[in-house]
Amino acid sequence: MVLNLSEQKLSIPEGTEDVLGLDMRYREHIINIIKEVYENYGFNPHKTPILEYLETFNGHHGEGEKLFFHIKDKNDKDLIARYDLTVPLARVASMYPDLPRPYKRYQIGPSFRDDEPGKSHFREFTQCDADIIGADSLLAEIDITVMAHELLTILGIKNFVLKINHRLLIQALALKVGLQSKEEHLGLQRALDYADKVSKDGLQGVKNKLLENNIPLNIANQTLMEIESFANLLTQFDDLQNQINQIEKFFDNCPSAAKAAADLKFIMSYLPKNVQSNIKIDLTLARGADYYTGYILEGVAIDTEIGAILGGGRYNQLVSAVGNANEAGVGLAFGLERLLSVLKSLDYIDKNIELPSKILLANTNVEFHPKLFVIARELRKYYDVDIYYNQSPFGDIVHFAQQNKHQMIIELIGKQPLIHAVIENETMQSKVTDILNNLDCI
């Protein structure tokens, strides 16, 4: 079938986007900030394929598996456009046991989910992951929490909260309300996440999802009551350590709660005060993936409606579930599109990005300047230089320069080029004048 483009309106699939011009500059600017911080914390880059075998991803994402993009190749193999970057990392850890441990890697690349497109939901999106494989110590949790706080601060998001929880606290809550089986514990966890990420209707959403999963009404009501009681208890204490001290008592000395409280107490004891001031313990935080086993966190910009822009936690059984290596893991990920949406809503990018100094060489004569490329070559030793190839009215050239944020136009007319400042920069103008004056070709 030959597609006649003239007969239909060109478009792209919902939940995807073209990123063009200055928007791509802004995007790369933010990616570079994230890379610099990841590198500063000792993470190294790596790459995995966009296509993975379906069996690699099966069984790790709970309700999220409904959003898989399935692909069948010509050999009838079941593939998937990767759902995240963490499961492929677990595969790498099993396939390459000789990699140094702890293995600290970051990866920035696209993931795909057949989600309902919306303001904060994309079907193709870029994840900025940093993970540690082979570290059992809670020092790893401390490091990624401090790193998350530093990144949000560097990016200029002044009003944010780092929500934290522990999967064992969700287990303790399930036990307290009479949910005994592993399936019921998983059902509560998924109900909490669904209400937070999908239905966005808070505790009522949790109740609706529990009832949908055949949890009796009295247990669903008790679950909501316990969550509210826990939140109210924490508001009585300003200090995080005092809040954590209430956990064991609230959960009737449940072993799961005791272990969670011990972990949280250790982590908080090492966090600087400025990091602790942005942390909130939230029993309704669940995180969507089934593979989390301990500490979990989520970063939320308070002044926007985007929701979470980073999330992560500990996953001690994912590597063994994907492959054959029994190794602990912990990490976090930023959702780049969500992050950019937040930054644009806060007017951060236009105010803070520093674009490269660019010069536009323009020829307004009928004949091209004979030394056009000699001039360009010399200037490119010091600046980025663009050439305006068409012969156009000077007003069109100025418009082009303004659109592309060129700082200067050098008009090649006659023997002596004319310098036009698009953005005033006396230092640059003086240096360019000296360069041109010293050229033998002029």
What is the location of CATH 3.30.930.10 in the chain? 19-348
What is the location of CATH 3.40.50.800 in the chain? 356-436
In angstroms, rounded to a whole number, what is the distance separating the alpha carbons of residues 398 and 416?
19
Q: Of 287, 335, 326, 288, which is closest to residue 127 (Cα–Cα)? A: 335
For 60, 81, 87, 135, 313, the CA distances from 48, given in Å and listed in that order, are 18, 12, 10, 21, 21
Q: Give the DSSP letter string of 228-253.
A: HHHHHHHTT--SHHHHHHHHHHHTTT
Q: Which CATH class is domain 19-348?
A: alpha beta
What superfamily in CATH does domain 356-436 come from?
Anticodon-binding domain (3.40.50.800)
pTM, full prediction = 0.89
Known binding residues for L-histidine are: 84-86, 113, 127, 131, 287, 291-292
In angstroms, rounded to a whole number, what is the distance separating the alpha carbons of residues 190 and 210?
9
In angstroms, rounded to a whole number, what is the distance separating the alpha carbons of residues 16 and 8?
19
For 377, the enclosing helix (H) or strand (E) is helix 372-379
- State which amino acid sits at residue 407: Q
Known binding residues are: 84-86, 113, 127, 131, 287, 291-292
Q: Extract the tokens encoding 100.
A: 């140094």
Give the burial class of 407: count Cβ atoms within 10 A of its Cβ; 0-12 exposed, 13-18 middle, 19 or more buried: buried
Task: Please list the pLDDT of the chain residue by residue as tens digits (442 residues).
Answer: 455 555 568 999 999 999 998 889 899 999 999 999 999 999 999 999 999 999 999 988 888 899 999 999 999 999 999 999 999 999 999 999 999 999 999 999 999 999 888 766 789 999 999 999 999 999 999 999 999 999 999 998 989 999 999 999 999 998 998 888 888 887 788 788 777 665 466 788 888 888 888 888 898 888 889 888 998 999 899 889 999 999 988 998 899 999 999 999 999 999 999 999 999 999 888 887 889 999 999 999 998 888 899 999 999 999 999 987 889 999 999 999 999 999 988 887 766 677 788 999 998 776 777 788 889 999 999 999 999 998 888 999 999 999 998 999 999 876 778 899 988 888 999 999 999 988 866 5
